């Protein structure tokens, strides 16, 4: 089954998802990525460099943000490109963790590609700016 561009309109929400991160999530990601920067697991180090506490890896946040688009495409299209600007850190509380919300909307419809704009928030603030996924629908 293909995704019909004729059924899409600019502004349509194509995917929404919430991700809950814990300090354990950060440890697992560090092991998978090899990024063991101590700002991702030690409050004292994070605070010593001006952060409000331990923060999620930027690439983890970026990867989670695109996942709803991947799921929406479901092998009915491909991602041509993806870019973001990191605007705020996701601070992962040792007890409560952090909840990141992603809303994916059609930003532009073109002949050969569709742009999906992502709104990625944590604690009622946008954490990724100009988060855009370029996709080709089949």
57-66: pLDDT as tens digits: 999 999 999 9
pTM of the model: 0.91
Q: What's the number of domains the chain is made of?
A: 1
Specify if 27 maps to a domain. no
Q: Give CA–CA dist 89/60, Å, rounded.
A: 11
CB of 73 closer than 8 Å to CB of 79: yes
Residue 131's closest CA among 26, 30, 54, 61? Answer: 61
Mean pLDDT of the chain: 95
Supply the range of the domain harboring residue 112: 5-20+56-137
Structural domain contains residue 63 = yes
List the one residue out of 10, 17, 2, 4 whose CA is nearest residue 116.
10
Contact 133, 82 (CB under 8 A): yes
Percent of the chain exceeding pLDDT 70 equals 96
Residue 127 placed within a domain:
yes
Does 75 reside within a domain?
Answer: yes
| CATH number of domain containing 108 | 3.10.129.10
Question: From residue 134, how far is each of 68, 106, 110, 121 by CA, in Å?
Answer: 14, 10, 10, 20
The answer to whether residue 120 sits within a structural domain is: yes
CB neighbours (10 Å) of residue 111? 5
Q: pLDDT by residue (tens digit) across 67-103?
A: 999 999 999 999 999 999 999 999 999 999 999 999 9
Which residues have C-beta within 8 Å of that of residue 16, sequence separation ≥ 6?
68, 101, 102, 103, 104
Q: Is 51 among the domain residues?
A: no
């Amino acid at each position: 089954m293909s995704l019909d561009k004729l059924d899409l309109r600019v502004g349509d929400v194509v995917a929404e998802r919430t991700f809950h991160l814990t300090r354990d999530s950060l440890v697992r990601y560090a092991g998978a990525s090899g990024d063991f920067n101590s700002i991702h697991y030690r409050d004292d180090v994070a605070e010593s460099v001006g952060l409000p506490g331990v923060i999620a890896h930027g690439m983890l946040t970026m990867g989670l943000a695109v996942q709803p688009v991947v799921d929406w495409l479901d092998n009915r299209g491909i991602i041509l490109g993806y870019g973001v600007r990191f605007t705020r850190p996701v601070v992962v509380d040792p007890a409560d963790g952090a909840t990141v919300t992603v809303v994916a909307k059609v930003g532009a419809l073109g002949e050969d590609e569709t742009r999906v704009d992502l709104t990625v928030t944590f604690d009622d603030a946008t954490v990724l700016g100009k988060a855009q996924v370029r996709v080709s629908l089949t």
